[in-house]
């Protein structure tokens, strides 16, 4: 199996997704830590060798392959873990084998990047890392809209979880959809969202924490 | 093969992605058209039968399965087309078989939803459909940031395409990454982006238009 190194920032939920996926799969992962606030992902060395995007996480595969985008990194770890473990039938753990369930998993992962992360994670970063008093006018003008859109995203999740008898996003067991949505949902309180409004989400968070191999964010 | 119906709005690039994917695969697709501006995706009937999210596209599979999220719908069409055509070896057209290339394809699809669509598509919708003179203060305050973030996304694409000898995002042929990024890139002019700044992107757009089965957006 290839050796994996995660280039990451510990306060990032996007980075935590990849660590949690590796932990649940039992795949070893080296960690290389950067401070976003200190500009450590914008140095010439980072831009030249790790990613010209200046963002983390980046999953390094072996010596010279670098994969950006958290959800793609989770997919690669799960997709290759089954092959590496020579599982038969080749059903990647955390990725459903059935094409419809696999597409439904991806549906929630795209939802996460398009309607959840851009609101809840961004608000959390502004409040927690930058500080509300340091936000410029453009960001201040967006806060109300991001709170509203974040609440809508949580409403969608609540509605879906309440209808699923197993309490997972897809099918009867945990998939990457749960991991990717869990990362910024379970810490949405940092961004000012009171999760007690969404009881099925709270229950699902507890269910994720009970999965064998679970690791907390910090 | 299941019968597919796309619930869609013709001005949406997200909807066009799914139509283009089906066209390149040669998969028949029924179309059910809605006007977003006239609230036709927010009616009680739509919310109850098609999607409680009130968004399009939604890919209807058979009579009673509804799949939201454009990129997930593209994935499902490509993933199942190979099986339906009994291709051997089972290499889904538009989805690379190699796990690393598949993850790299997904990487660009997540990038599209997280850093491209939320800026370029949103700006286009505001300018083209709502009209700049009708935007509220919160949206007006976001325009500058979205132009800058949209330019950064196009810079990332240009940088990547310029390095790829085949001119595609992943490997040596078109994948879903190209289709999903093409949708809002080739009409980025509607949102005020002058694509002549990004020559590799312009060349790639022409290359997409030459693929067998290509259909234009309108």
**Percent helix, percent strand, percent coil in chain B, to nearest 5:** 55, 10, 35
CATH number at residue B69: 3.40.30.10
Q: How far apart are CA A197 and CA A189, in angstroms?
A: 11
Q: Nearest-CA neighbor of A147 among A111, A182, A113, A122?
A: A122
CA of A163: how far to CAs of A156, A159, A168, A170, A177, in Å? 11, 7, 10, 11, 16
Residues B128 and B190 in one domain: yes
Residues A103 and A204 in one domain: yes
What is residue B90's three-state secondary structure? coil
Chain B neighbors of A183, CB-CB under 8 A? none
Give the nearest partner residue to B103 out of A76, A99, A159, using CB atoms: A76
Residues B116 and B181 in one domain: yes
Helix A99-111 × helix B70-84 angle, to 10°: 160
CB contact under 8 A, A156 and B52: yes
Chain B neighbors of A137, CB-CB under 8 A? 141
Residue B62 lies in a domain: yes
Task: Going from the first residue of chain A to its last (218 residues), give the mean pLDDT of each consecutive group of 10, the final group possibly shorter.
Answer: 91 97 95 95 95 95 96 96 63 86 98 98 94 91 94 97 95 96 98 97 98 95
Residues B153 and B79 in one domain: no
SS3 letters across A2-34: CCEEEEECCCCHHHHHHHHHHHHHCCCCEEEEC
Provide the phi-psi class of A131: left if phi over 0, else alpha when psi is between -120 and 50, else beta.
Answer: left
Touching B: A residues 79-98, CB under 8 Å: 79-80, 83
Residues A81 and A115 in one domain: no
Q: Which of A86-90, A145-149, B49-53, B182-186 has the lowest mean pLDDT?
A: A86-90
Residues B116 and B194 in one domain: yes
Choose the final residue of a domain: A36, A55, A85. Answer: A85
The answer, for A156 touching chain B at a CB cutoff of 8 Å, is yes
What is the complex's ipTM, to 2 decimals? 0.96
The answer, for A114 touching chain B at a CB cutoff of 8 Å, is yes
Residue A53 near residue B156 (C-beta atoms within 8 A): yes
Residue A22 lies in a domain: yes
Q: Is the dihedral of CA B107, B110, B115, B117 positive or negative?
A: positive
Q: How far apart are CA B126 and CA B131, in angstroms?
A: 6
Chain B neighbors of A107, CB-CB under 8 A? 67-69, 72
Q: What is the pLDDT of residue B88?
A: 47
CB contact under 8 A, B76 and A99: yes
Place of tokens 């990717």: A180
**Residue B56 belongs to domain spanning:** 4-85
pTM to 2 decimals?
0.96
Query: Token digits for A116?
Result: 């959840």
Query: Token digits for A205?
Result: 């968070």
Mean predicted confidence (pLDDT) in B7-27: 96
Q: How far apart are CA B34 and CA B41, in angstroms?
A: 7
Residues A106 and A202 in one domain: yes
**Mutation test of the interface with chain B: which of A4, A77, A94, A103, choosing the one with the most B Cβ atoms within 10 A?**
A103
Residues A117 and A186 in one domain: yes
The answer, for B184 touching chain A at a CB cutoff of 8 Å, is no
Mean predicted confidence (pLDDT) in B146-164: 96
Provide the phi-psi class of B214: left if phi over 0, else alpha when psi is between -120 and 50, else beta.
Answer: beta
Number of A–B residue contacts, CB under 8 Å = 101
Mean predicted confidence (pLDDT) in B186-201: 97
Q: How far apart are CA A156 and CA A173, in angstroms?
A: 20
CB contact under 8 A, A117 and B118: no
Q: What is the pLDDT of residue A91?
A: 55
Model confidence band, residue B177 (pLDDT cutoffs 50, 70, 90): very high
Which residue in chain A is spatially nearest to B153 when comparing CA positions?
A53
The answer, for B169 touching chain A at a CB cutoff of 8 Å, is no
pLDDT digits (tens, 9 = 90+) for B120-139: 999 999 999 899 999 998 89
Beta bridge partners of A61: A4, A65
Residue A115 near residue A153 (C-beta atoms within 8 A): yes
Q: Nearest-CA neighbor of B118 among B78, B95, B152?
A: B152
Mean pLDDT of chain B: 94
Residue B172 lies in a domain: yes
What is residue A168's three-state secondary structure? coil
Residue B205: count of CB within 10 angstroms of its CB: 18
Q: What is the pLDDT of residue B200?
A: 98
Q: What is the pLDDT of residue B82?
A: 74
Q: Nearest-CA neighbor of B187 among B10, B8, B26?
A: B10
Residue B93 lies in a domain: no
What is residue A54's three-state secondary structure? coil
Residues B78 and B37 in one domain: yes
Rg (C-alpha) for chain B, rounded Å, is 17
Residues B156 and B203 in one domain: yes
Residue B106 lies in a domain: yes
pLDDT digits (tens, 9 = 90+) for B67-77: 999 999 999 99
């Amino acid at each position: 199996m290839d050796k994996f190194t995660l280039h990451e920032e510990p306060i990032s939920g996007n980075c935590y997704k990849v660590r949690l996926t590796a932990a649940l799969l039992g795949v070893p992962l080296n960690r290389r830590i950067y401070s976003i606030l200190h500009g450590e992902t914008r140095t010439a060395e980072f831009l030249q060798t790790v990613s010209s995007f200046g963002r983390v996480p980046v999953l390094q595969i072996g010596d010279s392959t670098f994969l950006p985008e958290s959800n793609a990194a989770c997919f690669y770890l799960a997709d290759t873990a089954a092959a590496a473990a020579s599982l038969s039938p080749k059903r990647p753990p955390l990725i459903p084998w059935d094409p419809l369930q696999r597409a439904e998993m991806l549906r929630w992962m795209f939802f996460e990047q398009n309607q959840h992360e851009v609101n809840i994670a961004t608000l959390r970063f502004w409040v927690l890392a930058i500080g509300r008093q340091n936000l410029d006018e453009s960001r201040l003008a967006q806060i109300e809209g991001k709170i509203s859109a974040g609440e809508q995203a949580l409403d969608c999740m609540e509605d879906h979880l309440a209808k699923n008898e197993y309490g997972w996003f897809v099918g009867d067991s945990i998939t990457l959809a749960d991991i990717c949505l869990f990362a910024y949902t379970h810490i949405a309180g940092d961004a000012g969202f009171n999760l007690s409004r969404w009881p099925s989400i709270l229950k699902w968070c507890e269910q994720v924490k009970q999965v064998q191999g679970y690791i907390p964010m910090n």
